[in-house]
Structure 1
Amino acid sequence: MERIRLGNTVFEGLNNAYLIPGDRPTLVDVGVATDSVRQDLSDGLATVGYDVSDLEAIVLTHWHADHTGLAGELQSESGAEVYVHEDDAGIVAGDPAAIADERDIRERRFEEWGIPDEPLEEVTSFLDRHVDLQGEDVDVTRVHDGDRIAAGDGELEVVHLPGHAAGLSAFAFDGDEGREAFVGDVILPKYTPNVGGADLRVDRPLETYLDSLARVADLDFARVWPGHRDPIDDPAGRARVIAEHHRERTERVLSVLDEHGPADAWTVSAHLFGDLSAIHILHGPGEAFAHLDHLVAEGVVEQDGNLYATTGGDVDVDELVPVPETKR
């Protein structure tokens, strides 16, 4: 397996694509549809003796443009079959109904969160300007949890791990030191993947993501290969650290509501993250919403319209945000 490092100046940078050589050359994730990333990918393939036309399969971890943008044109040039989880397949394929549904949810959430006019105009303009980064439409093959895909000289197993995105999936394989996986943005070595704003279609986003972190820990991979930056040698431990981060953030959200509530998601976000710009105007209140939504579902916060307030009862944050046990 060869890691191909890709630039990315629009979203969170240092993307990775992974080439699996062999009888069925397979690429895992492809990068955003820009000229510089297109060149990075072509150069990376050439370094290990491959050309785009050699690809027979492309596997996408989730629908975000920095992972899927070049898939359509790569498919056109190579004839490769493109695999993506069914929950993200419509957007990757460019299905108008799926794209319209995502946009409708976004507009509704922006109103519910209480984003003021100026930052609302900024984030809307940012998203509209970067639509082309999603690239060409793709003829997708839909996969499900547990499916197996022929790749290289072996196979990949689909492991559905939603939260950051509805269809986000890892692709597991037998590595040199045990079971490994390509994980996209399920866990990252430096940043914590955004939850709540990165895919507005996810119901109960924080709970969904915590369940995925628990599954990562339970699977106890020897190593995972993320969509950004370097490989993670203790993925179960990293999943635990990220869950602990969300536990701490839950405590902060409750503190903000105690001091400033009732408050909407934008106000809570402002106290958590300060001033925001560009894509973070989506991610900040989205993450605040994910926590507020979780606290409402757990009965420790009440919602009145777009405003949230604590119920005043005792709160056990350890129970609200479970941290997975690790096996090592």
Structure 2
Amino acid sequence: MKLAPHLHRLGNDVVACYLIDTDEGITLIDAGLPGHWNDLQNELRSLGKSAADIRGLVLTHGDSDHIGFAERLRREHGVPVYVHTADADRARTGEKPKTSMGPMKIGPMLGFLSYSVRKNGLRTTYVREVTEVHDGDVLDLPGRPVIVPMPGHSPGSVAVHVPLADAVFVGDALTTRHVLTGRTGPGPAPFTDDPEASRASLEQLARLRASWVLPGHGAPSHATPAQVADAVRQAGA
């Protein structure tokens, strides 16, 4: 689905990933669930392009609902997969600490699980080879994505700032639709390793300039990063 010039979303408000389309080729941000592979193919066809036009896939972090088709894309098409060095093992093995689920409602939780099953989310394929990135890196990919550290949800959680698309992709550094409660609007994401560190990382987001703030779960936000960061703080208070 096209959101704006250069900017497309795959998936929906339950789980989403993103496509940046430029004259130099395509950059993907996150890889959703394995079944989003079909969404990717449909979006590429709508643009008159193919996987051969994809220059790289940047992960906001290494959790299973963000790496869905990453290994298939790497293996079948040679597309490099970029992830912060602190989350590289997470993307390769799935190893992560147990975290509290927190509040939940049965309807939204079952909806999330049902969608995950439909998109083959129970069959995670981890990424065998990754390219590690670091805080502040500007990647040599279409759109020149900038790696903004936002540790907390995971040690290597990042925001990806793409000025060309006037957008910042935040993964699970925050959510605009809580997958376990159904609450909408900016707020803290569930399954966060270190909630205190995640709150502190909102300062990094607030400094950015963009018209779009795009989470891995929930509707795209057209507020400024500073406004979204403030709303997350208030929701978590």
Contact 1:24 1:57 in 2 (8 A): no
Deviation of the 1:191 alpha carbon = 5.0
Contact 1:45 1:52 in 2 (8 A): yes
- Kindly indicate whether residue 59 of structure 2 is the aligned counterpart of residue 60 of structure 1: yes
SS in 2 for 1:170: strand
Q: Deviations over 1:155-182 (max 9, x none)?
A: 1111011122221111113247xx6322
Equivalent in the alignment of 2:3: none
Distance (Å, rounded) in 2 between the aligned partners of 1:141 and 1:150 = 12
Alignment partner for residue 233 of structure 1, among 220, 223, 233?
A: 223
Q: Deviations over 1:126-181 (max 9, x none)?
A: 8xx987443243310011111110122x41111011122221111113247xx632
Q: Deviations over 1:219-238 (max 9, x none)?
A: 34443233232233222112
Q: Cα–Cα, structure 1 residues 53 and 136, in superposed 2: closer, same or farther, change >3 Å?
A: farther
Distance (Å, rounded) in 1 between the aligned partners of 2:23 and 2:126 = 27
- Kindly indicate whether residue 162 of structure 2 is the aligned counterpart of residue 157 of structure 1: no
Distance (Å, rounded) in 2 between the aligned partners of 1:64 and 1:219 = 24
**Superposition pairs for residues 1-328 of structure 1, below 5 Å?**
1-7=6-12, 13-34=14-35, 37-94=36-93, 99=95, 102=96, 105-106=97-98, 132-152=122-142, 154-175=143-164, 180-189=167-176, 190=185, 192-195=187-190, 198-199=191-192, 202=193, 205-228=194-217, 229-247=219-237
- Aligned identity (percent) is 28
State how many pairs are aligned.
Answer: 207
SS in 2 for 1:231: coil
Q: Deviations over 1:285-322 (max 9, x none)?
A: xxxxxxxxxxxxxxxxxxxxxxxxxxxxxxxxxxxxxx
The one-letter code of the counterpart of 1:209 is S
* Gaps in structure 1 of 5+ consecutive residues: 114-125, 248-328
Q: Cα–Cα, structure 1 residues 21 and 219, in superposed 2: closer, same or farther, change >3 Å?
A: closer
* Gaps in structure 2 of 5+ consecutive residues: 1-5, 102-112, 177-184
- Deviation beyond 4 Å, 4+ runs, structure 1: 129-132
The one-letter code of the counterpart of 1:156 is P
TM-score by length of 2: 0.76
Distance (Å, rounded) in 2 between the aligned partners of 1:232 and 1:165 = 25
The one-letter code of the counterpart of 2:189 is N
Q: Deviations over 1:102-148 (max 9, x none)?
A: 2xx42xx67xx9xxxxxxxxxxxx8xx98744324331001111111
Deviation of the 1:56 alpha carbon = 2.0
TM-score by length of 1: 0.56
SS in 1 for 2:163: strand
Distance (Å, rounded) in 1 between the aligned partners of 2:199 and 2:225 = 14
By percentage of residues, which structure has more helix?
A: 1
Distance (Å, rounded) in 1 between the aligned partners of 2:212 and 2:7 = 15
Distance (Å, rounded) in 1 between the aligned partners of 2:22 and 2:128 = 22
Distance (Å, rounded) in 1 between the aligned partners of 2:50 and 2:126 = 20
Contact 2:56 2:81 in 1 (8 A): yes
The one-letter code of the counterpart of 2:170 is V
Q: Cα–Cα, structure 1 residues 22 and 210, in superposed 2: closer, same or farther, change >3 Å?
A: same
Distance (Å, rounded) in 2 between the aligned partners of 1:31 and 1:167 = 17
CA RMSD of aligned residues (A): 2.7
Q: Cα–Cα, structure 1 residues 39 and 166, in superposed 2: closer, same or farther, change >3 Å?
A: same
Q: Deviations over 1:186-242 (max 9, x none)?
A: 2333252325xx24xx4xx22201111122123344432332322332221121111
Contact 2:74 2:80 in 1 (8 A): yes
The one-letter code of the counterpart of 2:57 is I
Q: Cα–Cα, structure 1 residues 3 and 133, in superposed 2: closer, same or farther, change >3 Å?
A: farther
